[in-house]
A and B are shown apart, each in its own frame.
Chain A
């Protein structure tokens, strides 16, 4: 009976969350929100209490909760944040904050997760990727990014955070939708956990959208790589032209070179080189490489390993 109830509960939650996802945040009914709120409330650890009710924030008021950090999530098209703060009974200086960001798509959720990731933190076996840093847990699952932040780093808090991470991850829906760049970027030489995704302003350039970056070890040295998939030749040409204009303005020289049929745009930025190229509907390149020769070799290797998008 207990098992049936649990199954029913899980199915109900999945239905609720499916409704949330498919309707979009504008159409979420009050009932649905209350149910999610109840589900989060039920995560309250024994001996702890919710310091306030479960709160929901949208891009319009996300600032109230996370200060100037809101822009980071909004830049990835955040849909909503569910937030709860748990306090240890009788010790209000012991708290754990749970934040569940609904980013709308797994790609955007990966974007915020990857931008905040501590590469050297011990991984956790939750969701698609997760890690623990001090007592805090950070998890990417489907379209959700979950942060669990503790007031201190003690064995007790570490364990409670892990339990919360497990329970939260369990009740959030995983659609299974793939993240294109994670498969498209070559695996050879890829430095683990180095892939990031930027919806806007990759490399600080306003025309670089939907871009993945990663670190590789090529020629025994680290090389930064970017990859973007665009929808038309016009779009690709426009980005190439803007990149060349940027390199002309801030760098020393821009040259075009064909090596073994591969057309490369080499940007001498003064103290480093960027090389960009097109392959099919992909725009890719190597960036911030100190030596021209290494940059060229890395660009050719990357070109060979990439699919056409």
Chain B
């Protein structure tokens, strides 16, 4: 799983120094000998790791992401949550997720100064919807539609870079896709490859919260995607349109096959909308804090956690590498930090 508690106060420079010492075989001769015969391990990417957070490798990106991802889109709208960023960084959150200005107006611009200040210490992913492509989940798309969508996505990627005041983002997603034909569009993938070869983006991903199982299967089949942000709760897939659980969804513990298959294909799994269902109506939720209780065992249900913390912890310990949380104030942030930092202590 490549999970680490942390690297303590070790920064990237210190880590590199330690690796250099190790290479002299003075400290770890046995390990070095083993390494000579074992397949070469990929170099992991470490950023801003602190003892107050836990980390997990995100698929073939090899990035050790904080298990709590700061969802910046809504929080930074109008700049209201900008103070949360420093606190998030201070506790070791190294993964910041945002979205195109077409959805989250001004949020990328609000993130820009923070990103500039910590450019080599954090991972920034953004995303853009294929708003020009209006197809249902089971429809096929024409070549012309795919070309237009690819052009649109590229335009929004360029706009994101401008708003973030950078020339590179670590990952850029196809936002809110639910159609396997779109996922498997070579024209859209070519748009990513062009952006990558131009040095604008490192990794390709999808975000999906409808038809997620089929969408993930399609992504796995292509081998093109390194990251998948999926709408999922302890009780199963989250359905965007109904803002409820997908009809007939298996609970999360029964979704392990598809999640493992994704991970085996090198796709890092990022949960989203995990607690939306619990949130009050005023936060676009269902206002039912007990909604997932039926999937928890007695012991876990009795833990002194908030329903939100319990849901995040359960998701993190049942197949998700990390969770993306929309946090609007310090109270939410602190709750979620605790959940992500301690999740591994709740399940054997």
**Contacts from A to B (Cβ < 8 Å):** 51, 59-64, 66-72, 74-75, 92-93, 95, 114-118, 149, 151, 196, 198, 200-206, 246, 250
Contact = CB atoms under 8 A, between A and B. Distances in A.
A9 B146 CA distance: 43
A115 B81 CA distance: 12
A21 B125 CA distance: 41
Nearest to B324: A68
Contacts of A204: 75, 80-84, 328-330, 333
20 contacts: A59-B281, A59-B282, A67-B240, A68-B73, A68-B103, A68-B104, A69-B103, A71-B326, A72-B77, A75-B283, A115-B80, A115-B105, A117-B106, A198-B80, A202-B80, A204-B83, A204-B328, A204-B330, A205-B330, A250-B87
Nearest to B331: A206
Contacts of A68: 71, 73-74, 99, 103-104, 326
A260 B206 CA distance: 59
B148 interface: yes
Nearest to A136: B102
A196 B79 CA distance: 10
B301 interface: no
A71 B275 CA distance: 14
Contacts of A201: 80-81, 328-329
Nearest to B148: A93
Contacts of B318: none
Contacts of B152: 151
Closest 4 CB pairs of A and B: A115-B78, A116-B105, A206-B329, A93-B148
Contact of B103 (A62, A66, A114): A66
A223 B297 CA distance: 52
B106 A51 contact: no
Nearest to B103: A69
Contact of A198 (B78, B134, B240, B243): B78
Contacts of B328: 75, 200-201, 204, 206
Contact of B283 (A61, A71, A114, A149): A71
Contacts of A60: 243, 281
Given A59-B284, A74-B284, A67 B80 contact: no
A124 B281 CA distance: 35
A202 B331 CA distance: 13
B176 interface: yes
B241 interface: yes
Contacts of B102: 149
Given A68-B73, A151-B132, 13 more contacts: A51-B134, A59-B282, A68-B99, A69-B73, A71-B74, A72-B77, A116-B78, A118-B106, A198-B78, A198-B80, A201-B80, A203-B83, A204-B81
Nearest to A64: B241
B129 A67 contact: yes
A63 B73 contact: no
A229 B139 CA distance: 53
A115 B83 CA distance: 16
A149 B333 CA distance: 33
Contact of A74 (B103, B131, B283, B333): B283
Nearest to A114: B78
B50 to A, nearest CB: 16
A59 B73 CA distance: 18
B109 to A, nearest CB: 9
- Which of B81, B105, B134, B283 has the largest count of A CB atoms less than 10 A from its CB? B105
A177 to B, nearest CB: 22
Given A51-B134, A63-B284, A71-B284, A205 B78 contact: no
Contact of A67 (B79, B105, B134, B176): B176
A203 B243 CA distance: 28
A205 B281 CA distance: 20
Given A67-B176, A69-B103, A206 B330 contact: yes
Contact of A116 (B73, B77, B330): B77
Contacts of B176: 67
B64 interface: no
Nearest to A152: B155
Nearest to A87: B134
A193 B103 CA distance: 22
Contacts of A116: 77-78, 105-106
Nearest to B78: A115
B143 to A, nearest CB: 13
A60 B287 CA distance: 11
B291 to A, nearest CB: 16
A138 to B, nearest CB: 9
B175 interface: yes
Contacts of B175: 67
Nearest to A224: B79
Contacts of B243: 60-61, 63-64
- Which of B243, B330, B332 has the largest count of A CB atoms less than 10 A from its CB? B330
A93 B132 contact: yes
A92 B135 CA distance: 12
Given A196-B79, A203-B80, A204-B329, A67 B103 contact: yes
A204 B102 CA distance: 23
A108 to B, nearest CB: 13
A64 B105 contact: no
Interface in B149-182: 152, 175-176
Contacts of A200: 328
B81 A72 contact: no
Contacts of B281: 59-60
A74 B329 CA distance: 16
A62 B284 contact: yes
B224 to A, nearest CB: 23
